[in-house]
Chains A and B, each alone.
Chain A
Amino acid sequence: MSTDVAVRVSGLAKSFVRETRGRASVVPVLGDVTFEIARAEFVSIVGPSGCGKTSLLRSVAGLLDVDAGTIEVDGKAVTGPGRERAVVFQDFALLPWASSLDNVAFGLKLQGVGRAERRRRARAALEMVGLDGFADALPHELSGGMRQRVGIARALSVDPDVLLMDEPFGSLDEITRRSMQEELLRIWERDKKTVLFITHSVEEALFLSDRVLVMGGKPGRVVETLTPELPRPRTRSQESSEAFTSMRDKIWETLAC
C-alpha cells in the first residue's frame, strides 16, 4: 500500500436484520463500497437519508462489524476502535455531568493519559476551538455550536491521524452551521488531519472538501466522485463561482438519478 493512503475501504458490505411483527428480514445497507482517502485529504460523503453514510463511518470507526470487504487505516486492518481514529458525533455525545474540560479530557483518560497531561492537552484543545473561557461549563449550559466545538476539541485532543465526522453540524441552525464550517477549515488548515466527513448538505461538502463522494442506491455505494477545483483557503465568495455551482448541480443531478 502506498504510504500516502490513510484510509482504504474495499468491497465493503453490511446488512442489518430487521424484525417486524415477529418476522426477521435482512436489509442490505452497504454494498461493495470502495474508496481511498489520501493522507491530509478532506473527503466528504454526501447522500440521501438511509443510503448508509453513517453505517459506513461507524464501520471505519470500528464501531460496526462488516459482513464483507476490508477497511485499512494507515495500512492496518480495522477490527475495532483505534487510537489513530477519533469520531465527532452528530448529537455531540457529550457527558452531561462533566464540564467542557472533563469532556475533552475524557478521550485522553480512556487512553491512559495522566491527569495533569490530559488537562493540559484538553485546555489547549478548548483554546484551539475558541472555548478557553468555558472550561467549567456543563454541556446544557452551552449552545449547540459550542457543544460541537467541545466534541471537536475532544476528538482533536487525542491527536488522531484520521478524523471521522458524522454530520457534525447537522443539528445546528444555518448561521451557526456556516460559522462552524469556517471554524473547522481554520482548524484543519493548521495541522491537516485526514478527514472523513459525512453530510446531507451538498454545499457543505463542496465548501469543505478536497473530494466529494456521492452515495446512492440500495444498498448504498459510491456512485460518483468529484473533486472541487476550488483554491484553498476557501472563502464564501467561492460559493457563487462557476466551478462551485456547476459541481453542485452535477451532484444534485447524480442524487436525482
Chain B
Amino acid sequence: MLTPGSRRRLLPRGPLALQALGLVVGLALWELIGALHLISWFPSLHAVLGRVGELAAQGKLQEPLVQSVTNLVVGYLVSVVAGIVIGTLMAVSKYVNFALRVYVDALMAAPSIMLVPVLYVLFGLSSFTLIAVIVLYASVFIMVNTRNAVAGASSALHDMARSFGAGPVAAFFWVTVRSAGPEILSGLRLGMGRAVKGMFNGELFIAVFGLAALDKSYEGAFDTTGILAVAVVVIVLAVVLSTIVEFANRRLNGWALSPS
C-alpha cells in the first residue's frame, strides 16, 4: 500500500546493478581469453572494438548500417501494424481466428528461414525482399501476443465502461486495448528481436546488402576479428532497439510492472 505522496520507481536499482555486473564479467572474460590467447583464433575484446572503430573511420560501416537499419525500421513498422491489426481481429472474431490460426501456428512452429528462398523467388534481389523477410520473422510474434492480450483482457473492465455509458467500440478502445497494452508491448519487444534476426538472415542469404554482406566478406578471409566486429554492431543494434521498445513499455505500462 502507498502512503500519500510516495513515489514509484520504474525499475529497482538491484536488478540494474546485477545486469551491469553480469555484462562486465562477461566482457572481462572475453578480453582475458583473447588477450592471453587461450583460444588461438579468438580475438580480444579490445581488438574487436578497435576494428569497429577502424571500420567506422574508413567509412565501411556506415553504408551497410544505414541499409540494414532502413530495411529493419520499415519491416518492423509494417510488422507492428499488421501484427496488431490481424491479432486484434483474431481476438474479436472467432471466424478470423479459425481461418488464420493454422498459418499463425505453422509460422510459429516452423523455422522462418525456410521461407526466405520463396520470398527471393517472388520478389527478386531487392530491399523489398529483405523487408518481407523481416515481416515474416517479426509479425507473427506480435500477432500472437496481440491476439492473446486482447482476448484475455478483463471483461469486468469492459462491463464497467459499458455501465457508465461507453458504447461497445469506445469500451473496446478505451479499456480493452489499453488493458491489453503490456502484453502487446511485450510482443513488440519480442518482435524487435525477431526483426533483427530476420534482417541479418535475409541479408546473409544473398550477401549483397547491409551488414551481412560485410560479414560475408570477412568470412571468406577467415577474419574472425572482422566477423566479431560486425557481430558486435548487430548485437548493439538489437539491444538498443529492444531497449527503446522496453523503455516505451515502461513509460506506458509501468502500472503492470508493479507488484499487486
Contact = CB atoms under 8 A, between A and B. Distances in A.
Partners in one complex: yes
Q: Which 9 A/B pairs are nearest by Cβ-Cβ distance? A: A141-B2, A93-B160, A107-B164, A133-B4, A140-B260, A97-B255, A87-B163, A110-B164, A93-B156
Interface string A88-107: 01010101110000000011
A107 B160 CA distance: 9
A141 B7 CA distance: 11
A89 B160 contact: yes
A128 interface: no
Given A89-B159, A91-B156, A97-B178, A142 B1 contact: yes
A198 interface: no
Contact of B166 (A82, A96, A110, A146): A110
A254 interface: no
B258 interface: yes
Interface in A120-173: 133-134, 136-138, 140-143, 146, 158
A7 B113 CA distance: 64
Interface in B173-189: 175, 178-179, 181
Interface of B: 1-2, 4-5, 8, 154, 156-157, 159-166, 170, 175, 178-179, 181, 253, 255-256, 258-260
Given A89-B156, A95-B157, A96-B179, A140 B255 contact: yes
Contacts of A86: 163-164
B94 to A, nearest CB: 12
Interface in A52-76: 58, 61-63
A228 interface: no
Contacts of A111: 164-165
8 contacts: A63-B159, A81-B162, A82-B165, A91-B156, A93-B154, A95-B179, A110-B170, A142-B2
A223 to B, nearest CB: 27
Contacts of A143: 1
SS of B interface (majority): helix
B157 A93 contact: yes
Contacts of A142: 1-2
Nearest to B253: A97
Given A95-B157, A97-B178, A138-B255, A63 B4 contact: no
A111 B163 CA distance: 11
B186 to A, nearest CB: 15
A61 B162 CA distance: 10
B190 to A, nearest CB: 22
Contacts, number: 76
A115 interface: no
Nearest to B255: A97
Contacts of B170: 110
Given A95-B175, A142-B1, A81 B255 contact: no
Contacts of B2: 134, 137-138, 141-142
Nearest to A158: B164
Interface centre among A133, A134, A140 (most CB of B within 10 A): A140
A158 B164 CA distance: 9
B258 to A, nearest CB: 6
Contacts of B162: 63, 81
B159 A93 contact: yes
B154 to A, nearest CB: 8
Contacts of A146: 1
B260 A110 contact: no
A148 B179 CA distance: 19
Contacts of A93: 154, 156-157, 159-160
Contacts of B163: 61-63, 81, 85-87
Given A95-B175, A110-B166, 19 more contacts: A81-B163, A81-B165, A82-B165, A83-B165, A85-B163, A86-B163, A87-B159, A91-B156, A96-B256, A97-B253, A110-B161, A110-B165, A111-B164, A134-B2, A136-B4, A140-B259, A141-B2, A142-B1, A158-B164
A140 B4 contact: no
B253 A138 contact: no
A2 to B, nearest CB: 27
